[in-house]
């Protein structure tokens, strides 16, 4: 069988947790940070779990992750 190619754009955006769940970064933390509270910015900087409805598509893009 030929090797499967990883989608490099997805590899840069997603990773696996220790328990095997797909993790992603949260949005809304790129610019216009001046008016956002510190608490909000700290929450946005944490990793989030990919929704179960999207996890299958993401895992197909990352065959060896």
Q: Does residue 3 lie in a domain region?
A: no
Is there a domain that residue 1 lies in?
A: no
Counted domains in the chain? 1
On whether residue 12 sits in a domain, the answer given is: yes
pTM above 0.75, yes or no: yes
Q: Is residue 53 part of a domain?
A: yes
Backbone torsions φ then ψ of 3, nearest 5 degrees: -70, 150
2 in any annotated domain: no
Residue 1 reports pLDDT greater than 90: no
Q: What range does the domain containing 41 cover? A: 8-61
CATH number for position 26: 4.10.410.60
What are the E-state strand segments in the chain? Answer: 14-16, 22-25, 47-49
Mean pLDDT of 40-58: 97
* 9-45 confidence digits (pLDDT tens): 999 999 999 999 999 999 999 999 999 999 999 999 9
């Amino acid at each position: 069988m030929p090797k499967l190619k990883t989608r490099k754009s997805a590899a840069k955006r997603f990773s696996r947790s220790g328990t095997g769940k797909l993790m992603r970064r949260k949005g809304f933390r790129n610019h216009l940070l001046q008016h956002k509270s510190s608490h909000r910015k700290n929450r946005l900087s944490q990793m989030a779990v990919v929704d179960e409805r999207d996890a299958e598509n993401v895992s197909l893009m990352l065959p060896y992750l």
